[in-house]
Amino acid sequence: MIELKPETRGYNDRKYLKLRGTGSLGDGENLKLSLGETVVCGRSRHCDWSLKRTPKYLMADDGEREQIKQSVEFRSVSRQHVRIAFLAPDMVDIENLSSNGTYVDGNRVDRIVLKDCETREHAIQLGPKGVILHLEPGSLPLPD
């Protein structure tokens, strides 16, 4: 007889937040952040949320892409800029990984723990002139 073990993913897909890019470069690149999951955001293709995977960047021809790479908005974002960890239903850890700085709701932070992400949206700006990511409630609160 074959015994099947339950799947043991490191995160809970029933509770999640949405990470939505905005601004001229970030528009259209969205990410679902499940409970227990950690993501890295930046301009590298290896990041979970990447400027190089936004529709504007992907659809640009070579000349336009070079202009995008030289823009202040693009250059403000580091290859690996910020780490976001959805640790508990009421706890999100945001850690700056860039010398350009990370701003949460307009305030520069090195590291911050947010405790109201299930009920309130937060704006995370990558660098002083970079794209803004909106961390939004995704799932409805579930009874414990």
CATH number, residue 20: 2.60.200.20
User: What tens-digit pLDDT sequence spans the chain (144 residues)?
Assistant: 555 554 455 556 678 999 999 988 999 899 999 999 999 999 999 999 999 999 999 999 989 999 999 999 999 999 999 999 999 988 999 999 999 999 999 999 999 999 998 889 999 999 999 999 999 998 655 444
Q: How far is it, in rounded angstroms, from Cα 89 to Cα 45?
A: 29
Q: Distance between CA 87 and CA 78 in Å, rounded?
A: 24
Report if residue 144 sits inside a domain.
no
User: By residue range, what is the domain housing residue 86?
Assistant: 13-137
Is 6 part of any domain?
no
Element (H, E) at 35: strand 30-35
| pLDDT computed for residue 89 by the predictor | 85
* 88 assigned to some structural domain: yes
- 37 is a domain residue: yes
Model confidence, pTM: 0.86
DSSP at 5: P
Q: How many domains does one find in the chain?
A: 1
Q: Identify the pLDDT of residue 142.
A: 47
